[in-house]
Amino acid sequence: MRKVKINLGLNSYQILIGSDLLKESGQWLKEIGFSDKLVIITNPIVQKLYGNSLKQALLKDGFKVTILSVADGEEQKSLETAGRLYTELSKAYTERGTPILALGGGVIGDLAGFVAATYFRGVPLVQIPTTLLAQVDSSIGGKVAVNHGQLKNKIGAFYQPRLVISDISTLKSLPSGEFANGLAEMIKSAFIRDRDFFTFIETNLDKIKSLDEGVLEEVVCHSARIKAEVVKKDETDLGLRHILNYGHTIGHAIETVSDFRVNHGGAVAVGMLAAARISNKLGILDTGELARLKSLILGAALPTEIPDLDRGRLIQAIKQDKKVSGGKIKFVLPKAIGDVFITDQVSLSLIEQVLAG
């Protein structure tokens, strides 16, 4: 097992990464001071796969455990579902010190995190991510949120967990498309921050995809370290943390215009390549580096071309992002593999040129 510490003063915590960690969870929870009631928030798929056995292990360790289950799916990240969970938490006679364990992917992590941040003005939160995306990205850094109409992830808080337990054994049951979603965020982390890690992923891609435990532990750990380092420098997303959105400006537009038929990983993969092409056209990113990114994305079974969507609507959706970020379209662009910068100086005509292919 490996440990990554995320240093945030009083809000510091550990990320534990390894195989078969779920059965040891009681021990880690006791180590950070929990000993009595616990609430697990999960969904029926993850409950069946891991929730019930986690509950049994925790009961054996002397905890009192309540499981609250919400239906699967992004639409559960809502104020309505959060409201239902508040009611159920009150029926379970939880107290301010009762921790919420978010067991699942990013949807459960964001929703349960939001509930933990707001119930009783904040109860302790433990993230137990079970998707690759959640293990390399969403469980780390304290962004918790629900959606509200068109406001995706905009009703939320920065609320750090007390512990993250990333059991890589849970990835064995993950559908391949969900695994590829996580790979997109892992490639992003390497591409924005760590050239050697990018090379490591290139070299070990087959082992990653075949869930080689040693390599998987290494890459989840390395991705967690990159995110932890960025979040430590900019916890509340005022500057540097924007680089974690590499590929997301065009990626979000693709998701929106496709009515979410293009999944997040696919949209981010295409968005990362489009941003790299913009940089290449500006004479910043070397063509060989662009080719390496494309080849890794292809190898990860992710798309490389912008899907057949109305280009005008894509531009509108990108401009919509602009409204949200202070009147300018903000892009994260690569200088080289492992090194990016933030700019609002990309012209609309260049974006249109890249979208045209």
Do 186 and 244 touch, CB atoms closer than 8 A?
A: no
Q: Helix (H, G, I), strand (E, B), or coil: what is residue 62?
A: coil
26/156 with CB nearer ligand GLY: 156
Q: Which does 42 bind (CB under 5 to 8 A by kind): ligand NAD, ligand GLY, none?
A: none
99/141 with CB nearer ligand GLY: 141
Measure the CA–CA gap between 138 and 231, rounded to whole angstroms: 12
Rule CB under 6 A: is residue 157 a binding residue for ligand NAD? no
Do 224 and 5 touch, CB atoms closer than 8 A?
A: no
Contacts within 8 Å (CB) and 24+ apart, 90-98 = 92/37, 92/39, 92/66, 92/68, 94/37, 94/39, 94/66, 94/119, 94/123, 95/37, 95/120, 96/120, 96/122, 96/123, 97/123, 97/124, 98/36, 98/37, 98/38, 98/39, 98/123, 98/124
Encoding tokens for residue 218? Answer: 């290494």
Q: Which does 193 bind (CB under 5 to 8 A by kind): ligand NAD, ligand GLY, none?
A: none
Give the binding range for ligand NAD (CB under 6 A) out of 72-80, 253-261, 285-293, 342-350.
72-80
The least CB distance from residue 332 to ligand GLY, in Å, is 11
108/257 with CB nearer ligand NAD: 108
Among residues 115, 174, 205, 273, the one that binds ligand NAD under rule CB under 6 A: 174
184/346 with CB nearer ligand NAD: 184
Rule CB under 6 A: is residue 77 a binding residue for ligand NAD? yes
65/332 with CB nearer ligand GLY: 332
29/220 with CB nearer ligand GLY: 220
The least CB distance from residue 157 to ligand GLY, in Å, is 13
Q: What is the DSSP string of 143-190?
A: EEEEEETTEEEEEEEE---SEEEEEGGGGGGS-HHHHHHHHHHHHHHH
Measure the CA–CA gap between 15 and 135, rounded to whole angstroms: 9
Q: Which does 241 bind (CB under 5 to 8 A by kind): ligand NAD, ligand GLY, none?
A: ligand GLY
Name the closest residue to ligand GLY (Cβ): 244
Measure the CA–CA gap between 167 and 240, rounded to whole angstroms: 29
Among residues 51, 106, 251, 271, the one that binds ligand NAD under rule CB under 6 A: 106
Nearest to 354 by CA among 297, 266, 263, 290: 290
Rule CB under 6 A: is residue 249 a binding residue for ligand NAD? no
Backbone dihedral angles phi then psi of residue 13, each to the nearest 5 degrees: -160, 170
Rule CB under 6 A: is residue 178 a binding residue for ligand GLY? no
Rule CB under 6 A: is residue 143 a binding residue for ligand GLY? yes
What is the chain's alpha carbon radius of gyration, rounded to the nearest angstrom?
Answer: 20
237/286 with CB nearer ligand GLY: 237
Measure the CA–CA gap between 43 and 345, rounded to whole angstroms: 43
Rule CB under 6 A: is residue 106 a binding residue for ligand GLY? no
**Under rule CB under 6 A, which residues in 241-260 are in contact with ligand GLY?**
241, 244
Nearest to 246 by CA among 170, 188, 302: 188
Rule CB under 6 A: is residue 218 a binding residue for ligand GLY? no
Rule CB under 6 A: is residue 19 a binding residue for ligand NAD? no
Positions touching ligand NAD (CB under 6 A) are: 43, 45-46, 49, 72, 74, 77, 104-108, 110, 130-131, 133-134, 137-138, 141, 143, 153, 170, 173-174, 178, 181
Positions touching ligand GLY (CB under 6 A) are: 137, 141, 143, 237, 241, 244
